[in-house]
């Protein structure tokens, strides 16, 4: 039977905003306790602030690349009301309840990535979850806490759009080792992801860098076409004070693979440029592994630097 009551008794207190501006780490730290991360070496939060820029694809593909490089990888879908991670990985079964009766086993993709998503524990993908913030916060914590995660090198967390309850819960509860910012090549997207960068700094989550997704595509004749105008990723990154990790092209084959739950197979010739860029990014992220000192890092610090 699917579970729909995960963590509903774990409702956090509201964050008190300081009169002078956004909440600080000290303002928010009392509201939500840290969850046990002893089995996970490195937590990476992927955030865009704005929907529609390909953040879920970036999360899933990075997870696949890290796993292909030999790492033990999991993905937590923190987009409770709009989950899609399970779909792109092709995992549709219901998680099994462990003999202890308290935890569930994470699902595993065909390629070997561990996955947990709200879509996997609800009765139907067609029924919307019409929840207020405290319920969403509780569900995120419960989805992580009630999953029997194995020993992992990386847990990537796909964050929903915005800078409100859900991302705040992840930053407070899981204390990410690094944050990956994703934007599209538009000023509007860059303005919104800049707010996400400030949120990461507020919660002392080191920023690994910025990815500019959907920057261009290569036509069959080999011409590079910039659909949304010239790439401005390096400019956006400089403005935010973060490393620029690279621009990723559009691939016409990607939507079909994602819809079919076969994103891990994205190694076609038309996606070779994208694959090379993402493998380079995965190598950079691998260098970010570090012993945790319990401090959560330095506010605004970047673990990685560009070449």
Contact 188, 223 (CB under 8 A): no
Name residues whose C-beta falls within 8 Å of residue 142's C-beta, 6 or more positions apart in sequence.
Answer: 6, 7, 8, 10
Residue 16 has pLDDT above 50, yes or no: no
Contact 79, 159 (CB under 8 A): yes
Give residue limits of the domains in the chain: 48-286
CA-closest candidate to residue 54, choices 207, 177, 189, 204: 189
CB crowding 268-286: b at 16 or more within 10 Å, else e: eeebebbbebbbebbebbb
How many residues in the chain? Answer: 307
Full-model pTM: 0.80
Q: What is 48-286's CATH topology?
A: Rossmann fold (3.40.50)
Helix (H, G, I), strand (E, B) or coil at 268: coil
Give Cα separations from 178 to 131, 158, 209 (angstroms). Answer: 28, 13, 9
C-alpha torsion sign, points 263, 264, 266, 272: positive
pLDDT tens digits for range 243-287: 888 888 888 888 888 999 998 987 644 344 444 555 566 566 656
* Residue 296 pLDDT exceeds 90: no
User: pLDDT at position 206, please?
Assistant: 86
Nearest-10 Cα torsion for 122, 123, 126, 128? -50
Position 24 scores a pLDDT of 54
Q: 3-state class of 40 per DSSP?
A: strand
Check whether 77 has a pLDDT greater than 90.
yes
Number of H helices, E strands in the chain: 9, 10
The overall longest dimension of the chain from CA atoms, in Å, is 58
Tens-place pLDDT, residues 93-152: 889 998 888 999 999 999 999 999 988 887 666 777 777 778 888 999 999 999 999 999
pLDDT at position 6 is 41
d(CA 31, CA 36): 16
């Amino acid at each position: 039977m699917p579970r729909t009551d995960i963590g509903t008794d774990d409702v956090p207190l509201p964050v008190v905003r300081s009169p002078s501006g956004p909440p600080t780490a000290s303002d928010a730290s009392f509201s939500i306790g840290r969850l046990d991360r002893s089995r996970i070496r490195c937590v990476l939060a992927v955030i865009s602030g704005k929907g529609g820029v390909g953040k879920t694809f970036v999360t899933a593909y990075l997870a696949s690349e890290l796993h292909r490089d030999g790492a033990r990888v999991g993905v937590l879908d923190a987009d409770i009301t709009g989950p899609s991670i399970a779909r792109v990985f092709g995992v549709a079964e219901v998680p099994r309840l462990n003999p202890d009766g308290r935890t569930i086993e994470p699902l595993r993709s065909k390629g070997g990535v561990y996955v947990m998503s709200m879509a996997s524990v609800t009765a139907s993908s067609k029924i919307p979850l019409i929840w207020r913030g405290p319920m969403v916060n509780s569900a995120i914590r419960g989805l992580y806490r009630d999953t029997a995660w194995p020993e992992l090198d990386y847990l990537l967390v796909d964050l929903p759009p915005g800078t409100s309850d859900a991302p705040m819960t992840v930053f407070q509860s899981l204390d990410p080792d690094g944050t990956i910012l994703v934007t599209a090549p538009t000023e509007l997207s860059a303005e919104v992801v800049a707010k996400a960068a400030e949120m990461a700094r507020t919660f002392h989550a080191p920023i690994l860098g910025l990815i500019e997704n959907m920057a261009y595509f290569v036509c069959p004749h080999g011409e590079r076409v910039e659909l949304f105008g010239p790439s401005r990723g390096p400019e956006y990154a400089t403005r935010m004070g973060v490393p620029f990790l690279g621009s990723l092209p559009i691939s016409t084959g990607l939507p079909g693979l994602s819809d079919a739950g076969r994103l891990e197979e994205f190694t076609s010739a038309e996606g070779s440029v994208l694959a090379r860029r993402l493998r380079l990014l995965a190598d950079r992220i691998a260098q970010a592994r570090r012993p945790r000192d319990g401090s959560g890092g330095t506010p605004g610090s970047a673990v990685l630097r560009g070449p």
